[in-house]
Amino acid sequence: MSETTLLQTVFHTAVAGTTVLASALTLLCTYRILAGPTVPDRTVALDTVATNVVAIGLLHSLNTDRGFFVLVALVLATVGFITTVVVAKFLGEGAIVE
């Protein structure tokens, strides 16, 4: 086996393992969203799920060598950030728009 083939195999194995780990963590955070005792707990879990989905999208982009998934990950990260800010403002002030 050549050195390039070995490096590609190690790379794809590492990406697959990281994808499985991020997916498992996403499932755990989904449980926290459903069973969270308070709204802030659910908000943090939702933000973590959004971050994990972005990571999974980027890992898929690395694995398939397609740049489109990077754009999708950027859009998801932006939407997740805006959602977290809006929920935090609502919890802090009781209104989103003054």
Q: Where exactly are the structural domains of the chain?
A: 3-93
Q: How many residues does the chain have?
A: 98
- pLDDT tens-place string over residues 36-89: 898 888 889 999 999 999 999 999 999 898 888 899 899 999 998 998 888 888
Confidence band, pLDDT 50/70/90 cuts, at residue 25: very high
For 13, 46, 77, the CA distances from 83, given in Å and listed in that order, are: 33, 9, 10
Q: How far is 16 from 63, CA to CA, in rounded Å?
A: 8
Sequence-separated (6 or more) residues with CB below 8 Å from residue 60: 19, 69
Q: How far is 90 from 15, CA to CA, in rounded Å?
A: 38
Which pLDDT belongs to residue 87? Answer: 85
For 2, 4, 12, 25, 41, the CA distances from 7, given in Å and listed in that order, are: 9, 5, 9, 27, 41
The encoded tokens of residue 42 equal 């659910």
